[in-house]
Amino acid sequence: MPPRTTPTERQQRLGAELRKMRMAAGVSTHYAAGLLGIDRPKISNIESGVRVITPDRLRTLACNYACTDEKYVEALVAMAADRTHGWWEHFRGVLPAGLLDIAELEWHAVRVRTSQVMHLPGLLQTEDYARAIFGAVLPPMPRLEVELHVAHRLQRQQVFERDRPLDYVGYIHEAALRMQFGGRKVMRDQLDHLLLMSERESLELRVLPVETGAFPGAGHAMLYAEGPVPQLDSVQLDSAGGPCFLYAESQLARYRAHLAWMEQAALDPKQSRDFIRDITRDL
């Protein structure tokens, strides 16, 4: 297959895992190229996600890298074998690639946990609420651009409608529940939608009241996507330049601790629903 010009985050992650495996084995790119019978630069291209690797070749590398974690190897094989084009590909070339990478990350995740401070989780936003958020961007986006962003955000919610709905836990700070994006009616409808979604078996919402005081990660939103094996977990953070994806073990450990703190400090699901209802009644 010809090299890719712009590999997705998922494709880059597969390559990064192969590089990590090779480095752990103390193997050179020259040796790896010899195993596959290819030029050494092609190994670098595979490890950067630019070049495709077949499942059989991946298994050859894993075997010769002496990787004995079968579940990890099979998870990588599944990534290499996946040639499907998700719904997000319809937006390629018209929306930033990072937004498509978020949708792909959510789609393939075993479970997603998020922490939101100033606005509500994207996977749980109503159309009007999402439109209010994108309409507040500076410099202002053209109307068509706003509508494309809204449509993409709403389609991300397909993860809850498929045969096996995504397991989701959302930690929401009280501030996000009180920020009236779009005005009182839009916010009231949005909170009603949150309550409706919170009744789903696969979805759990936990509120962090302002009385909790200081908390980790107060300055940003965070998405933690669990992969088929812990080594393939990912963290996604928002930034002014677009989404940032992290997966070094030290980074994953940090955000797992962040979420563990949230689990202990947040209201339980029933208390959270009552809390949201009280705010809704005040609107």
Domain identity same for 128 and 257: yes
Higher pLDDT, 240 or 89: 89
Q: Are 276 and 195 in contact (CB under 8 A)?
A: yes
The whole-angstrom separation of Cα 187 and Cα 167 is 25
Distance CA 36, CA 204 (A): 46
What long-range pairs does 127-136 form, CB within 8 A, spacing at least 24?
127/154, 128/182, 128/186, 128/189, 128/190, 129/181, 129/182, 129/186, 129/187, 129/189, 129/190, 130/154, 131/182, 132/181, 132/182, 132/183, 132/186, 133/181, 136/181
In this structure, the answer to whether residues 77 and 130 fall within a common structural domain is no
- What are 147-185's pLDDT values in tens digits? 999 999 999 999 999 999 999 999 999 999 999 999 999
Buried b (16+ CB within 10 A) or exposed e, 79-91: bbeeeeebebeeb
pLDDT tens per residue across span 234-269:
999 988 778 999 999 999 999 999 999 999 999 999
pLDDT score of 1: 57
Domain ranges, residue 193:
95-282
Read off the pLDDT of residues 113-152 as tens digits, 9 standing for 90 and up.
999 999 999 999 999 999 999 999 999 999 999 999 999 9
Radius of gyration of the chain (CA): 21
To the nearest 10°, report the CA torsion of 189, 133, 165, 201: -40
Q: In terms of DSSP bridges, do strands 167-173 and 203-208 run parallel, antiparallel, or are they unpaired?
A: parallel
pLDDT at 2 over 70: no
| Number of domains the chain is built from | 2
Q: Are residues 232 and 161 in the same domain?
A: yes
Dig out the tokens for 164 from the structure: 């096996």
Classify residue 102: in a domain, yes or no: yes
Residue 281 clears pLDDT 80, i.e. is over it: yes
pLDDT digits (tens, 9 = 90+) for 174-230: 999 999 999 999 999 999 999 999 999 999 999 999 998 887 777 688 999 999 999
User: Would you say residue 262 lies in a domain?
Assistant: yes
Give the pLDDT score at 3: 65
What is the C-alpha to C-alpha distance for residues 235 and 41, in angstroms, rounded to an integer?
A: 29
What is the DSSP-derived secondary structure letter of residue 92? B
251 phi/psi in degrees, rounded to 5: -70, -45
Q: What is the CATH number of the domain that holds 53?
A: 1.10.260.40
Of the candidates 124, 152, 181, the residue with the CA atom closest to the CA atom of residue 144: 152
The label of the residue with tokens 């706003």 reads 146
From 86, 203, 98, 202, select the one nearest 155 (Cα to Cα): 86
- If asked whether residues 199 and 261 sit together in one domain, one would say yes
Residue whose pair of structure tokens reads 């919170």 in the numeric block: 198
Domain check: are 36 and 151 in the same one? no
Could you tell me if residue 1 is inside a domain? Answer: no
Residues 160 and 247 in one domain: yes
Which conformational region is residue 67 in: left (phi greater than 0), alpha (psi within -120 to 50 degrees), or beta? beta
100 located within any domain: yes
Contact, 266 vs 207, CB < 8 A?
yes
- Please check whether residue 2 lies inside any domain of the structure: no
Identity of the residue numbered 197: M
- Evaluate whether residue 87 is within a structural domain: no
Look at residue 26 and give its three-state secondary structure.
coil
| Predicted confidence (pLDDT) per residue in 31-79, tens digit | 999 999 999 999 999 999 999 999 999 999 999 999 999 999 999 999 9
